[in-house]
Amino acid sequence: MVVVGAGYAGQAAAVSLARAGRGSRVLVVDRRGRSGYPPSSTSGIASYWLEQLGFPPTPDAVSSPIRSFRLVVSGDPPGTERVLSAGNPLAPELGVVLQEANFLGRIEAEAARAGVAFWHATHAEDARRKGDVYEVDLRETHGRHAVTASWVLDAGGYDSRISRRLGITRALPDEDRHNGLEVSVPNTGQHPPDRVTLYLGDWAPSGYAWVFPSSEDGVAHLRVGIGTPLSVRDARGVPVPVRKYFDGFLRDFPEFHLPAHHRMGGVIPTYRPDRKLHRGRVLSLGDAGRMCDPLTGGGIHQALASGVAAALAVAADDPDGYERGLAPFIREMRLRYRWKQVLLGMTTDEVRATMDALVEIRLPPGRFSPYAMRREALRHLRARGLRPLRILWRSNRLWKAVAG
């Protein structure tokens, strides 16, 4: 089996195959020189998912706990403090920010101990069917060669070629491709060390800016970033680069405009997954399969889940079992694509009312699935007079939501 990509999805697949006793038959190739480095994500994730999916992080893989969320909308009256937290100081943290290289490095070490082979600095360029097997073209510093595999797990992220070449996925519309940019700056006390703040509205049209707590080399830092889609255009119809919005955000919040420990960025697919994510024995995982959350841009837990589901399908020699195993996640992401249409159709005042409603939610004690909060969120939205269908109709997004 060849796993393309040693990110969250690829590592989850490799270690799950190793845990099923198949390690010695797995080759993982990744173009990065080292797993998780340089980082490709802010790496915030609900603790529930790490526990539920079988990847509890070791302390060195946690950059920071997350205990509360603050939601800010441009034009908020001064003094607005919209905070969602577990409330009880003894409650477990809501989530964590991972140290990507340590988290993935640990998983890789476990898989390698069970016989999985890892080839870093190796690009997978193409894959084609040859009778009962697949030939995968690889390129490394020393040249090119091909390997033969009975399964290909494509976990090459958003721009993975293999899923596209084999017709499993297509290029995404501009509105569903967010560009993300992030800098990691010292936390000099300007932001609570265990809080995430999200900024919506004029700072990031059709997207949002964020501040996540982290630590770099043992020193408290903040991952300050922004994501806007390629569809955002100025009055002349010219696409506005995300960099421009980031500069504007940093002008409004100069406390985050500090020398960067590191920078990163990339495309965040905010489309929806198809119901079928494989062709033959080629499975499309994580961002390659468009499993990233259309509403929040978070894709780590779905990437891990798709790795686990892919390994189960391989172990059972049942490619169709992949979508069955991943069904709750595919369903949720398709539903969230509809909610994304509602959010994009809202006026700034409606976004404000929505955020007011969200912080009224009472979080359950203990670790909980964020999916389980949907019904309560909807109740609070309705109580504030928000009518999703009316918003979809008014903004001409109803057909998109229905098609999704």
Ligand X SMILES: Cc1cc2nc3c(=O)[nH]c(=O)nc-3n(C[C@H](O)[C@H](O)[C@H](O)COP(=O)(O)OP(=O)(O)OC[C@H]3O[C@@H](n4cnc5c(N)ncnc54)[C@H](O)[C@@H]3O)c2cc1C
- Does 65 help bind ligand X (rule: CB under 6 A)? no
Nearest-approach distance from CB 237 to ligand X, in angstroms: 26
Distance, CA of 112 to CA of 18 (rounded, Å): 8
- Does 292 help bind ligand X (rule: CB under 6 A)? yes
Distance, CA of 38 to CA of 182 (rounded, Å): 13
Nearest-approach distance from CB 349 to ligand X, in angstroms: 27
- 124 vs 154, 258, 380, CA distance in Å? 10, 38, 47
Q: What is the per-residue binding string for ligand X in 104-143, x denoting contact by CB under 6 A?
A: -------------------xx-------------------
Q: Which position among 157, 213, 370, 388 is part of the footprint of ligand X (CB under 6 A)?
A: 157
Q: How many Cα neighbours within 13 Å face the side chain of 225?
A: 28
310-333 burial, b at 16+ Cβ within 10 Å, e below that, comes to: bbbbbeeeebebbbebbeebbebb
Nearer to ligand X, 290 or 397 (CB): 290
- Does 241 help bind ligand X (rule: CB under 6 A)? no
Nearer to ligand X, 13 or 73 (CB): 13
* Structure token pair of residue 386: 């928000």
Nearest-approach distance from CB 218 to ligand X, in angstroms: 21
Distance, CA of 87 to CA of 89 (rounded, Å): 6
Nearer to ligand X, 337 or 392 (CB): 337
Residue whose token pair is 């091909």: 146
Compute and round to an integer the Cα radius of gyration of the chain: 21
Nearer to ligand X, 95 or 404 (CB): 95
| 61 burial level (CB within 10 Å; 0-12, 13-18, 19+) | buried
| Residues 355, 201, 209, 154, Cα dihedral to 10° | 80
- Does 6 help bind ligand X (rule: CB under 6 A)? yes
* Structure token pair of residue 314: 């391989």
- Contact set for ligand X, span 302-341 (CB under 6 A): 303
Q: How many Cα neighbours within 13 Å face the side chain of 112?
A: 13
Nearest-approach distance from CB 382 to ligand X, in angstroms: 28
- Does 45 help bind ligand X (rule: CB under 6 A)? yes
- Does 10 help bind ligand X (rule: CB under 6 A)? yes
Q: Which position among 15, 16, 23, 30 is part of the footprint of ligand X (CB under 6 A)?
A: 30
Nearest-approach distance from CB 300 to ligand X, in angstroms: 3
Q: Which position among 15, 16, 17, 32 is part of the footprint of ligand X (CB under 6 A)?
A: 32
CA angle 314–317–319, rounded 5-degree value: 75
Nearer to ligand X, 302 or 341 (CB): 302
Total binding residues toward ligand X, as defined by CB under 6 A: 38
- Contact set for ligand X, span 343-382 (CB under 6 A): none
- Contact set for ligand X, span 252-291 (CB under 6 A): 265-266, 268, 286-288
Nearer to ligand X, 209 or 381 (CB): 209
- Contact set for ligand X, span 180-209 (CB under 6 A): 180, 182
How remote is the C-alpha of 28 from its chain's centroid?
A: 21
* Structure token pair of residue 138: 């690889």
- Does 4 help bind ligand X (rule: CB under 6 A)? yes
* Structure token pair of residue 286: 């994580």
Is residue 111 helix, strand or coil? helix
Nearer to ligand X, 127 or 392 (CB): 127
- Does 211 help bind ligand X (rule: CB under 6 A)? no
| 237 burial level (CB within 10 Å; 0-12, 13-18, 19+) | exposed
Nearest-approach distance from CB 251 to ligand X, in angstroms: 20
Binding site for ligand X (CB under 6 A): 4-10, 29-32, 40-45, 123-124, 155-157, 160, 180, 182, 225, 265-266, 268, 286-288, 292, 297-300, 303
